[in-house]
Amino acid sequence: MPPAKKICMSCVRLGNCADATVEMLKNDRGCGSWFAAHPNEVVARRKALSVAGTRALEAMISKSPPKKTATDYRR
């Protein structure tokens, strides 16, 4: 498996990082304090994004589930 790209979506600190924003996640950006998350965690984040869209990004940053179900946020 190739090494993970150093972006917020693949960082173990996502949810505990004061620098991460929805825009950083949308644009696949990262920072110098990046540390690789487990590959299964990254896959789960990508699946959440495909189901819930940008609401999933907000939930990943705050580590809290959205108040509405994914069906309420159809893109």
Q: Which two tokens stand for residue 41?
A: 């965690």
Q: Is residue 2 part of a domain?
A: no
45: left (phi over 0), alpha (psi -120 to 50) or beta: alpha
Residue ranges making up the domain that contains 18 = 8-64
Q: Give the chain's domain count.
A: 1
Q: What is the DSSP letter of 72?
A: G
Residue 31 counted as domain residue? yes
| CB proximity list for 23: less than 8 A, separation 6 or greater | 29
Q: What is the pLDDT of residue 53?
A: 85
47's enclosing H/E stretch is: helix 39-52
pLDDT tens digits for the chain (75 residues)?
A: 566 789 999 999 998 888 889 999 889 999 988 999 999 999 999 998 898 888 888 888 887 655 666 565 555
Domain-embedded: residue 20: yes
Assigned domain for 3 exists: no
